[in-house]
Amino acid sequence: MNIKNTVIAISLVTSSLVMGSSSVYADWPTKDIHLVVPYSAGGNTDILSREVAHLLQKELDVNVIVENRPGAGSTVATGRLARGGRNADHTILMASPGHVIGASIYPNLPYNAVSDFKFITKLLDAPNIMVVPSSSPYNTVAEFIAAAKSKPMTFSHPGVGSSVHMSGELFKTLTKTKLTAVPFPGSGAALPALLSGDVDVSFENASTVLPYIQSGGLKALAVTSKTRFKALPNVPTVIETEGYDLSGFVTTVWNGVIAGNAFPDEGVEVLQAALQRVKESEEFNAFIDKMGAEASPLSGEEFKSFISSEVIRWKMVAEEAGVRQS
């Protein structure tokens, strides 16, 4: 074979390989999709994931199997996703604030919370709500801060590293108040202590405390989002507090879909399009409205940028508060 024919042969083989590799996932998905929930069944993330799986299944006409893999504030399942392995090309995970908080409080994670993942889409945002018992003498955030500067007070949370816990730590840091965190094994255990006045305040998820606010068992002093919460339009945001610069206090409970780096780009594109249709659907918006949440517009690189900034922010909060998990 002369040089010319050799070059042609090599070119044909190379072209064949390139075309073959690009067409492997041309018809993605080619099998069941596995949606991993890094928490136990029954919580908000699990409930949301099952609804998303149902809607995504209708969009893609393929089985979407929900798998619960709890452990270490979501880091066990997330680490497994980062490692790839069997079915990595059809496995996604429902991420939450635990993704960025875990990167802040676990010093020896075997993965990077940003570079080891592909960020498909952010699904929703919901505020936490600063609540006090109905018997509390405080009716505004400013009144509460003044009291908490003069005497020790407590805030409850459903677990170290939860968004509720870290919201309390951020509030403590920004206001320089004498708040002590009181942990409970879940919101179900924390609520009775708050309702009875055994603890002074909490920064609980909207879906958890909204019924108690509406029934009068708890008073809402503020919401933690940047703008007011449509379910409680008369309740101000924390950043609206007069006399204090709390512009840095914006926290939300969010959920979004991520995948490991072994996940194919074609799959990312298909999922982004399908999940965008889900986010725009009446069924999804009616569902998350009951959770006190709103659909997020972020997807792809914008979602990744959000994660990057959140990792930096919560690392600073964790260091200031001395929150670390082994």
pLDDT in tens, 100-156: 999 999 988 999 999 999 999 999 999 999 999 999 999 999 999 999 999 999 999
Domain count, the chain: 2
The DSSP call for residue 236 is P
Q: Which of 206, 240, 274 is the last residue of a domain?
A: 240
Q: pLDDT of 67-79, one tens digit each?
A: 999 988 899 999 9
Q: pLDDT of 255-284, one tens digit each?
A: 999 999 999 999 999 999 999 999 999 999
Where in the chain does DSSP place strands (E)? 33-37, 64-68, 91-95, 117-133, 153-157, 179-183, 201-205, 218-223, 252-260, 294-295
Which residues form the domain of 223? Answer: 127-240
Please state the pTM of the whole predicted model: 0.86
Q: Which of 217, 240, 263 is the last residue of a domain?
A: 240
Judgement on whether residues 147 and 212 belong to the same structural domain of the protein: yes
Which tokens belong to 196? Answer: 């009875």
Judgement on whether residues 158 and 177 belong to the same structural domain of the protein: yes
Average pLDDT over residues 217-238: 95
Please indicate, yes or no, if residue 14 is contained in any of the structural domains: no
Q: How many CA atoms lie within 13 A of 56 on its CB side?
A: 25
